[in-house]
Structure 1
């Protein structure tokens, strides 16, 4: 996390770069998932048989900003909840302000693997391919991959990337996909057979106006498009060309561009992350909805436009072809053919009879995609998967849990489930130990080994407490000097560990170097070390905590709320070998309490 100290004015409050920290944390999570091996063939108990009447379903949601993919997962959650099931939604991102999500929602810190927060449940639904193996490794429930498509289905990728995707998609206990055409792509690329259950439209949001008036709402006639221009496949660059061509041919129309986040190169009227009521009104008011996507798995926005009574012009992308028929409910052009799309838009604007025919065809098409018929199919699939699943019994494991107190009552049971489902030779859990006044440190500790297993270690986030410092602590002598107040000797010891240790050891030792420098009163050197540390390890919450503390001790103004928010978002730095326990409380007690 690069500090905001590029200005020469030291009076400016110091604040963290949260975007850089989150990006680094997401990358660390992806790299950890990338390293996960395929699940081994292990012995299993007999299948559970009939599932409970009320299922416990947990959704892993990759993003919560405005978008068709997130909306579909949230619709699943709400509608399963209405049918009496217990539904939990997990994401690293905040709850969606734009969607009325009624299911239980938990925001998981970026420093913790999302799957580690899964509660006891009957089915885990992975909303993106890279979540599957991490969810399977829990060993507590079957994993359904809800495939909505991305680059791994539509773009050329190298062999290494294909192998990582394959390990994940093949590991799912079942796969649901929203398009029959793309189901065949999945089968051909990865050999995975999927159940096809299409998306649907919420008629409470997307419905036709009483009178078809494109200028309703006080706007001039406008074309509507949806997508963020950072995702090239959305074809926003072509949309800019379409609009220019339509205007150059004499049509006085605007563009309204709905995007989940601020665009890189805005044009027209930009609407960022609207709520559902606003979004529905924008769809109803448009003269034409234009989809320029290079590919989609289903393409929900064009269907929502049809349900809103708005004529649709689209590329012939794979997803839209699932329901779009040229001249019947939409006008189509080739992918990346901006002039072809513009010509189709002009046909709609110039032909009121054609627009009316497309409108009627679109309404008939959208009526066939109802949640009332689709959700029961999802429910049946979850029941079938649960009935056929059984937990692994895998391997002869020996555990050493002496001196440990787990935080959660069921942690030991879950640990054994994790070990049985793992292909690793050992399993580790995070163990806290006393460090110094008011601080407990946490390190990964191997607590179980498989007989005849290899050297690889699976990490299970099942926190436990210990009352003593670990025997294998690489800086044990330096820590004893630190706690005894022998700070010069402690600094020498921590520096030795830092220099001799590998890349995994340096972040841990670096924290102690900073703390020792602060105890020695060398605030300037501590600040210098921290400036490098927050840049080198931007997703390590301890360095943000220490950076704020160092600045405060030196009298420099800081944005305390921004630092607290950053530590809250990142949480414990579990992708590293060591971190402070409960960093959110630590930073609040030291930054906010004095001001209260």
Structure 2
């Protein structure tokens, strides 16, 4: 089967990493896989992660420098034109639903939507907000990366909504269970994200300021994919775009993990931290409810509430039994997210889509 993923870019992001991991497994299973992306949006680092047999096509149009209806229309048409005529088309980001719909209507192709987006992403972007709300009715098949996403879109979908729980995206090696009987002298609290407001970096920094006023030795470890401004006087270290191996080391070296996102389709970093055996604090950001259960494998606090985040961190620092319960149950929850299962689910949906068209 020929499968073409239509991308907004081939640059580092959680969604692109997910597509790359899925594409690699589909290629390994013998499928022809193509990625179609706007011109000059390919990071060499991401390209190198792809199997050699995967084809990457660039459209003639690049991303417009600013919002421009004519530029966006040209990009949609250009992506649709580059989409292989013999492929099943996969929309991977809400803006890519338009070229997928256009190409499939013109070339009579099968289409599906790999849904990873959530309303918070488009709070200030009315076009994408409109598409996220209304485009599902034009897709007979949607594959959501979490049950909360699937439940949210079901009433607006034009057909089947399946759930594909992706793998973890990092190599998680077995390790001895941490000994939390005595807290570390200088606990390391890890944040992974970027400086977009919806990722909650500011709330994390505010929370760390309060935590360090009570536990001065606590160290905030901040991982960003782009340069971030740390406008708070806190004990911290900043890591910019670490390699997968270095990111895995940071997970292993941390004592607690905190996610302060306002919204998530799934919430990869917190799930990865669970897999590494780390107690986590997460905000009620939607997709995390696919795996997080308050008091069982995580502490869940309101989004955009730095005070609640700080109080949860302080609770974990002071309660060894709670830490142990969360990390043990968190590892069990993370074990359900495995790439071979994800690829098998996706292939099953694809087979059902193509078989339905042949009847």
Q: Is this a same-fold pair by TM over 0.5?
A: yes
The answer to whether the aligner puts 1:126 opposite 2:72 as a matched pair is no
- More displaced stretch, 340-349 vs 148-157: 148-157
The answer to whether the aligner puts 1:68 opposite 2:11 as a matched pair is no
* Alpha-carbon distance, 1:109 to partner: 4.8
CA distance in 2, matches of 1:332, 1:355: 14
CA distance in 1, matches of 2:80, 2:219: 44
Q: 1:357 to 1:207 in 2, by over 3 A?
A: farther
* Alpha-carbon distance, 1:162 to partner: 5.3
Q: 1:132 to 1:348 in 2, by over 3 A?
A: same
Q: What does 1:298-313 align with in structure 2 at a 5 Å threshold? A: 298-313=266-281
CA contact (8 A) 1:207 1:307 kept: no
Match among 45, 51, 54 for residue 97 of structure 1: 45
The answer to whether the aligner puts 1:244 opposite 2:209 as a matched pair is yes
CA distance in 1, matches of 2:92, 2:128: 19
Match among 84, 87, 90 for residue 33 of structure 2: 87
Q: 1:252 to 1:191 in 2, by over 3 A?
A: farther
CA distance in 2, matches of 1:91, 1:220: 45
* Alpha-carbon distance, 1:315 to partner: 1.0
Aligned counterpart, 2:190? 224
Equivalent position SS for 1:64: coil
Q: What does 1:81-230 align with in structure 2 at a 5 Å threshold? A: 81-92=27-38, 93-95=41-43, 97=45, 100-102=49-51, 103-111=54-62, 113-138=78-103, 139-151=107-119, 155=123, 163-166=130-133, 168-188=135-155, 194-202=161-169, 205-210=171-176, 212=178, 221-230=187-196
Match among 239, 252, 262 for residue 294 of structure 1: 262
CA distance in 2, matches of 1:166, 1:197: 21
CA distance in 2, matches of 1:243, 1:187: 38
Q: 1:278 to 1:109 in 2, by over 3 A?
A: farther
Q: How many residues align?
A: 329
Q: Structure 2: give runs of 5+ residues left out of the alignment.
A: 63-74
Question: What TM-score comes out, normalization by structure 2 length?
Answer: 0.82
Match among 368, 373, 382 for residue 350 of structure 2: 382
Question: What TM-score comes out, normalization by structure 1 length?
Answer: 0.51
* Alpha-carbon distance, 1:211 to partner: 6.4
CA distance in 2, matches of 1:109, 1:222: 46
Q: Structure 1: give runs of 5+ residues left out of the alignment.
A: 1-54, 391-596
Equivalent position SS for 1:306: helix
Tell me the alpha carbon deviations over residues 308-365 of structure 1, each in whole angstroms, 9 at most, x when there is no partner: 1111111122111111111211112112221111111122222333222211111111
CA contact (8 A) 1:229 1:265 kept: no
* Alpha-carbon distance, 1:193 to partner: 5.0
Aligned counterpart, 1:354? 322
* Alpha-carbon distance, 1:265 to partner: 4.8
Q: 1:317 to 1:127 in 2, by over 3 A?
A: same
